[in-house]
Amino acid sequence: MKISTKGRYALRMLLELALHQQDGYVALKDIAERQSISKKYLEQIVPLLSRAGLLKTNRGYQGGYMLARSPESYTVGEILRVTEGSLAPIPCLEHEKNECLRADQCMTLYIWEGLHKTITAYVDSITLQDIMDHNADSTGNDYCI
């Protein structure tokens, strides 16, 4: 499994909004500048995030984007599923019921099921708040004199 640029940038965008949630609506150009991401690319990601209810939008003067919920309620898994679709490592695990004709005799299916379960559990256990807290812990008391 490989996470696309779209998934990585969506995570960075939402993290940027979480870091600046006290600022209210944040302009896309500001997110693009701070994250060194093309504004045009972010414009392609915004509709996905908006449709999924992850963003609030405000048009016009003082317009921009903000999180629709608190940072602790967004998981990395949720964000990646919105942008990437399924996180399944093989096609036959993309749906709730495995409809592969070979599933009953597939000797390696348990490997892919285990991998999928591990990946899903891991990305669903990390929130935007966790990422912010981790970053604060690793940079908070690092002083140079």
Q: What is the mean pLDDT of residues 92-115?
A: 90
**Average of per-residue pLDDT values in the chain:** 92
Does residue 12 lie within any of the structural domains?
A: yes
pLDDT at 70: 96
Does residue 21 lie within any of the structural domains?
A: yes
Determine contact, residues 130/69, Cβ cutoff 8 Å. Answer: no
- The total of structural domains in the chain comes to 1
**Entry pTM:** 0.88
Express each pLDDT in 72-85 by its tens digit: 999 999 999 999 99
Rounded to 5 degrees, what are φ and ψ at 67? Answer: -65, 145
CATH number of the structural domain spanning residue 112: 1.10.10.10
Does residue 145 lie within any of the structural domains?
A: no
pLDDT at 145: 45
Does residue 38 lie within any of the structural domains?
A: yes
Residues in the chain: 145
Range of the domain at 131: 5-139
